[in-house]
Amino acid sequence: MTKRHAHEIVADSLRTQILEGRYKPGERLPSEEALTDEYGVSRNTVRVALDRLVAANLITRRRGSGSYVNTEIGISHSLGNLRSFTALLRDLGLEPGISEVEIRRDPSPPLEILGFLPSEVVWLIRRVRTGSGAPFALLDSWLPDRIGSRIDPEVLSRRQSLYASLAEDLDTKVAEATESIHAEAADERESRVLGVPLGSPLIVIRRWTYDRAGRPVEYTRSAARGDRYRYVVKLRA
Give the model confidence (pLDDT) of 101-131 as tens digits. 999 999 999 888 878 887 778 999 999 988 7
Domains for the chain: give ranges and CATH numbers: 6-69 (1.10.10.10), 75-232 (3.40.1410.10)
Q: H-type helices in 102-152, by residue range? A: 145-148
In DSSP terms, 181 is beta-bridged to 205
Mean pLDDT of 139-159: 92
Q: Work out the widest C-alpha separation in the chain, in whole angstroms.
A: 60
Using 50, 70 and 90 to split pLDDT, how confident is the model at 1?
very low
Q: 73 near 58, Cβ under 8 Å?
A: yes
b/e code 44-72 from CB counts within 10 Å (16+ = b): ebbebbbebbbbbbbbeeeeeebbbbbee
* 190: pLDDT strictly greater than 70: yes
Distance CA(57)–CA(109), nearest Å, equals: 34
Give the model confidence (pLDDT) of 27-43 as tens digits. 999 999 999 999 999 99
Query: Strand, coil or helix: what is 147?
Result: helix
